[in-house]
Amino acid sequence: MDLRPTPAQLALRREIATWIEANLEPRVEGRDWQRRLAAGGWGAPAWPVAHGGRGFGPSEMAIFSEEMSRLGVPRATSQIGTGWAGPAIIAHGDEAQKRRFLPPILDGGQIWCQLFSEPNAGSDLAGLRTSAEPRGDRWVVNGQKTWSSYAHEADYGILLARTDPASLRQAGITFFAFPMRQPGVEVRAIRQMDGRATFNEVFFTDAEVPEDHVIGRVGEGWRVAITTLMNERTSLSTGAGTLWGSGPSLEDLFSLARGLHPDRLQRQKLAALKIEAEAIRLTAWRMLATNPLAASMAKLAADQWGQRVNELAIELLGMGGLVDNPWTEAFLFSPALTIGGGTTEVQKNILAERALGLPRAR
C-alpha cells in the first residue's frame, strides 16, 4: 500500500492549517471554540454533509487531528458530543432526534457527557445496574455512574440503563439521551492526581428522561453502545504525536531534550519513540478504513507509547520535572491513557479473541 500523501491530502492539510492559523486565539476555548469550528465548517468533519459535517473518512480525520495537534489546538469540551453521542444518534436515532440533538452538539450550544461506567461495571460494562422504569410518558432513573468526564459541564449525557430488571448482561439495556440539568441528578467531582477534577460521580434519584429520548429500541441499547465505543477508541487512538490530542507532543520532547544533553541511552529512546510514532500513525492510516479491529490495535500501541514519552520527559528533567513544569500534569495524567476508552488488557482480550481466534477468557 502506498502511504505517501496524495495531492488531495496535501491540499486538505494546507486548507486545515490555513483555517486554524487564521482562527485560533488563546482565549477562545470550550463552547466558543466549538462554535467557531462549526462556523468554519469544521465542527464535526466526520459527520455526513447532511448533518453539517464533511463526510470525512478515517484518513481525512487523521489529517484533521494531526493538524489540530501540530498547531496546538485545545481539544474541545464538546468532543464527547461530536465524537461519540452525535455518531450514535446519526446511526440509531430517528429523524426528530437528529433534528433536535445534532445542531446544538455541532455548534457547542450543548455539551454532552458519557454515563456508561459504574463502580462495578467498567471493563465489564454489561454488568451495569443503573435502572430506568417506565412511568407514563417518561422513564425514571435510579443508580450511580462514575468516571463521567465533564459531567459537571454537561447539558446531556449518553446514558446506558437497565430497562428490564429480569435481564442479564447485554440484553435489557437501553441507550438514552439524558437531560443532566434536573433535580434528580447530583454530580460530585473526583479530584485527580494531576490536580484537576475533570471526572465525576453522578447519582440519579428518581431522575426523569422523556420516552422520546430513547436512542434505538428499548432493550437494544447495547448495539448503540458498541457504535459509541468503536468511535471512542478510534478518536482516542489516532493522536500519535500527542497525548489524546492534548498536552506536550513528541516534538516538545525533542525540544526539551536538545537543551538537556541526553546521554546515549536516552538518545536511543528518543529515536525509538520517533520511529514508533511513525509506525503507529501509518498503521492507523492503513487499517482504520478497512479493519474493525484497527482501533483496538492503534489504541493499544498509542497509549503505551504516550506513557513512554512522558516517562522519558520526566527522566530527562530529573526530580524538577515533578514539581512545576509543563510536563508534570501530562505525566500525572498519563496512567489514564491505558485505562480510558477500554483498558490495555481489554484491548488485548479483543485482539486475542477476534484477531487471533484464541479461546474466550473465563
Ligand X SMILES: Cc1cc2nc3c(=O)[nH]c(=O)nc-3n(C[C@H](O)[C@H](O)[C@H](O)COP(=O)(O)OP(=O)(O)OC[C@H]3O[C@@H](n4cnc5c(N)ncnc54)[C@H](O)[C@@H]3O)c2cc1C
Query: Which range in 2-10, 40-48, 126-134, 340-348 contacts ligand X by CB under 6 A?
Result: 340-348
Find the shortest distance in angstroms from Cβ 77 to ligand X.
12
User: Which residue in 102, 82, 112, 101 sits closest to 210, CA to CA?
Assistant: 101
Binding mask 58-77 for ligand X (x = CB under 6 A): --------------------
Find the shortest distance in angstroms from Cβ 346 to ligand X.
6
Query: What are the catalytic residues?
Result: 232
102 sits near ligand X (criterion: CB under 6 A): no
**Using CB under 6 A, which of 56, 112, 116, 176 touches ligand X?**
116
Count of residues in contact with ligand X, rule CB under 6 A = 18
How does strand 131-135 pair with strand 138-145?
antiparallel
On whether the CB atoms of residues 83 and 61 are closer than 8 A, the answer is no
Find the shortest distance in angstroms from Cβ 195 to ligand X.
14
126 sits near ligand X (criterion: CB under 6 A): no
One-letter identity of residue 231: N
Q: CA-based Rg of the chain, rounded to a whole angstrom?
A: 21
Cell numbers describing residue 188: 460530585
156 sits near ligand X (criterion: CB under 6 A): no
- Which CB, 211 or 345, lies closer to ligand X? 345
Find the shortest distance in angstroms from Cβ 198 to ligand X.
8
Distance of CA 317 to the CA centre of its chain: 29
Find the shortest distance in angstroms from Cβ 216 to ligand X.
18
Which alpha helices (DSSP H) does the chain contain, by range?
7-23, 30-39, 58-70, 79, 86-92, 95-106, 221-237, 250-260, 264-287, 294-317, 326-333, 344-350
DSSP state of 353: I
> Residue 303 and residue 128: Cα distance in Å, rounded?
26
- Which CB, 159 or 294, lies closer to ligand X? 159
> Residue 169 and residue 241: Cα distance in Å, rounded?
38
Find the shortest distance in angstroms from Cβ 122 to ligand X.
2
State which H helix or E strand residue 188 sits in: strand 185-190
- Which CB, 64 or 333, lies closer to ligand X? 333
Q: Residues with Cβ < 8 Å from 119, sequence gap 6 or more?
A: 144, 146
Query: Which range in 1-9, 94-102, 295-303, 345-353 contacts ligand X by CB under 6 A?
Result: 345-353
Query: Which range in 1-9, 92-100, 275-283, 336-344 contacts ligand X by CB under 6 A?
Result: 336-344
- Which CB, 41 or 195, lies closer to ligand X? 195
On whether the CB atoms of residues 240 and 277 are closer than 8 A, the answer is yes
User: Which residue in 304, 308, 310, 307 sits closest to 348, CA to CA?
Assistant: 304
What residue ranges in 118-181 does DSSP mark as E strands? 131-135, 138-145, 156-162, 173-179
Partners of 162 in the β-ladder = 131, 173
Does residue 215 sit in helix, strand or coil?
A: strand
336 sits near ligand X (criterion: CB under 6 A): yes
Query: Which range in 6-14, 56-64, 307-315, 337-345 contacts ligand X by CB under 6 A?
Result: 337-345
- Which CB, 170 or 343, lies closer to ligand X? 343
Does residue 343 sit in helix, strand or coil?
A: coil
> Residue 339 and residue 344: Cα distance in Å, rounded?
7
Query: Which range in 8-16, 112-120, 263-271, 285-293 contacts ligand X by CB under 6 A?
Result: 112-120
**Using CB under 6 A, which of 5, 122, 219, 262 touches ligand X?**
122
Find the shortest distance in angstroms from Cβ 217 to ligand X.
22
**Using CB under 6 A, which of 6, 14, 55, 123 touches ligand X?**
123
340 sits near ligand X (criterion: CB under 6 A): yes
**Using CB under 6 A, which of 44, 300, 342, 350 touches ligand X?**
342
Contact positions vs ligand X (CB under 6 A): 113-114, 116-117, 122-123, 147-149, 336, 339-340, 342-343, 345-346, 349, 361
